[in-house]
């Protein structure tokens, strides 16, 4: 016997004056029922307390639950790389594509254990429209933060992002007694590449190297442009052996395939220095050991990996 489930799909488009046009497929007929004005005002005030998107969606779900029963909420904005789910998936869904004028704000789905009545569908649309202005503000704030923490040339995280992420990873490693490692990476003879092929080709090499490193590291690793032609990878839950394995994989992958810039093949190699957090050292100590290992790799002929031990550095 087929399951009798309900799916309501619609487009909610709000203008700057908070009027909206609703085009809904699969919904019940429209009703004149509306939320009390003071209830909508209270929700608006709550939503204005944060610019964090996940917190905003969580607050909104809790406020909606006071007025309309639901088992969960899912918000997705693929262009911003955001996906946040609260609660449980169920058979009955109300899905909305959210627009503010021409600006796409994402898709929101409400999950329910029971079907929506005519009045409930209308109430939900009114409530979602209250979210749209705070959501647009949160998305713009998110974009500004992402831009401030992203290297414009390579698209990877920048030094400012590292200054926030590394203390966080260090704190987690200390609190959970887990491993934390760093890989410092430098493009060999990068000045010669610029001198021979030009700065446009040099920029092309930087972008290509960043992409290939990003494609090779694990999803849990974080890549940063450390400065100039140097990159840094933060490896959580990774010991010295794992750091060496990944570092050597990176070195071979880049040495085996030249960068191609405007149909010109440019051979590129990298030098790497790795270090794993010791019990007694600080973030600065860990960074210095990784940096010292990198310079040992370069002094030893380049195109090689050096992994630091607690007391010294050894060439792998």
* Tens digit of each residue's pLDDT (9 = 90 or more) over 133-145: 999 999 999 999 8
Whole-angstrom Cα distance, residue 48 to residue 56?
A: 9
User: Residue 9: its pLDDT value, please?
Assistant: 63
- For residue 101, the SS3 value is coil
C-beta of residue 233 within 8 angstroms of C-beta of residue 223: yes
Active site members = 229
**pLDDT band, very low/low/confident/very high, at 247 (cuts 50, 70, 90):** very high
Average pLDDT over residues 299-315: 78
Alpha-helical (H) ranges within the chain are 37-47, 53-65, 118-148, 159-176, 190-197, 199-216, 240-255, 283-299
**CA nearest 31: which of 120, 113, 111?**
120
**pLDDT band, very low/low/confident/very high, at 115 (cuts 50, 70, 90):** confident
**pLDDT band, very low/low/confident/very high, at 13 (cuts 50, 70, 90):** low
Q: Is pLDDT above 80 for 151?
A: yes
If you compute the radius of gyration of the chain from its CA atoms, what whole number of angstroms results? 26
C-beta of residue 246 within 8 angstroms of C-beta of residue 214: no
**What is the architecture of the domain spanning 7-146?**
2-Layer Sandwich (3.30)
Whole-angstrom Cα distance, residue 8 to residue 19?
A: 21
State whether the Cα torsion 287-290-296-302 is positive or negative: negative
| Percent with pLDDT over 70 in the chain | 86
Beta bridge partners of 8: 94
Average pLDDT over residues 62-73: 91
Average pLDDT over residues 231-259: 96
User: Residue 1: its pLDDT value, please?
Assistant: 40
Instruction: Give me the residue spans of the domains in the chain.
Output: 7-146, 159-315
Q: What is the pLDDT of residues 217-238, one digit of tens each?
A: 999 999 999 999 999 999 999 9
Average pLDDT over residues 54-66: 94
**pLDDT band, very low/low/confident/very high, at 33 (cuts 50, 70, 90):** very low
- What single DSSP character describes residue 150? B
Average pLDDT over residues 67-84: 91
> Helix 283-299 vs helix 159-176: angle between axes, to the nearest 10 degrees?
120
Whole-angstrom Cα distance, residue 1 to residue 276?
A: 58
The CATH class, in words, for 159-315 is: alpha beta
| pTM score over 0.85 | no
Q: Is pLDDT above 70 for 113?
A: yes
Structure tokens at 146: 């992402």
Q: Is pLDDT above 50 for 24?
A: no
Q: How many helices (H) and strands (E) does the chain have?
A: 8, 14
Q: What is the pLDDT of residues 85-99, one digit of tens each?
A: 998 887 788 899 999
- Half-sphere exposure of residue 12: CA atoms within 13 angstroms, side-chain side: 26
In the sheet with 230-236, reading across from the earlier edge strand, the strands are: 222-227, 230-236, 180-187, 270-276, 305-308, 313-315
Average pLDDT over residues 186-198: 96
Q: What is the pLDDT of residues 156-186, one digit of tens each?
A: 999 999 999 999 999 999 999 999 999 999 9
Average pLDDT over residues 107-125: 88
Average pLDDT over residues 261-267: 93
Average pLDDT over residues 63-75: 91
Whole-angstrom Cα distance, residue 49 to residue 225?
A: 34
Beta bridge partners of 181: 235, 276
User: Residue 36: its pLDDT value, please?
Assistant: 61
Beta bridge partners of 11: 23, 97
């Amino acid at each position: 016997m087929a399951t009798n489930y309900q799916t309501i799909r619609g487009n909610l488009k709000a203008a700057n004056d908070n009027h909206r046009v609703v085009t809904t497929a699969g919904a019940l007929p429209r009703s004149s029922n509306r939320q009390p004005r003071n209830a909508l005002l209270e929700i608006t005030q709550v939503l204005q307390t944060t610019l964090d998107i996940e917190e905003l969606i969580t607050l909104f779900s809790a406020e909606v639950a006071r007025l309309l029963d639901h088992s969960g909420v899912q918000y997705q904005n693929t262009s911003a790389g955001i996906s946040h789910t609260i609660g449980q998936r169920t058979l009955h869904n109300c899905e909305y594509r959210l627009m503010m004028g021409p600006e796409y704000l994402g898709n929101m789905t409400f999950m329910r254990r029971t079907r929506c009545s005519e009045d409930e569908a209308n109430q939900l649309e009114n409530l979602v429209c209250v979210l749209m202005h705070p959501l647009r503000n949160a998305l713009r704030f998110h974009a500004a933060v992402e831009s401030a923490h992203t290297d414009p040339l390579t698209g990877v995280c920048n030094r400012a992002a590292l200054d926030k992420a590394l203390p966080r990873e260090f704190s987690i490693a200390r609190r959970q007694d887990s491993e934390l490692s760093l890989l410092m990476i430098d493009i060999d003879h990068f000045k010669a590449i610029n001198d021979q092929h030009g700065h446009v080709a040099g920029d092309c090499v930087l972008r290509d190297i960043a992409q290939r490193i990003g494609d090779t590291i694990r999803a849990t690793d974080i890549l940063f442009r450390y400065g100039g032609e140097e990159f840094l990878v933060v490896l959580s839950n990774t010991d010295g052996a794992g750091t060496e394995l990944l570092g050597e994989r990176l070195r071979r992958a880049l040495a085996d395939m030249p960068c191609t810039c405007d149909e010109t093949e440019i051979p590129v190699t990298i030098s790497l220095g790795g270090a794993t957090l010791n019990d007694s050292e600080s973030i600065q100590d860990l960074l210095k050991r990784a940096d010292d290992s990198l310079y040992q790799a370069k002094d030893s002929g380049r195109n090689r990996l050096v992994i630091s031990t607690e007391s010294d550095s050894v060439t792998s």
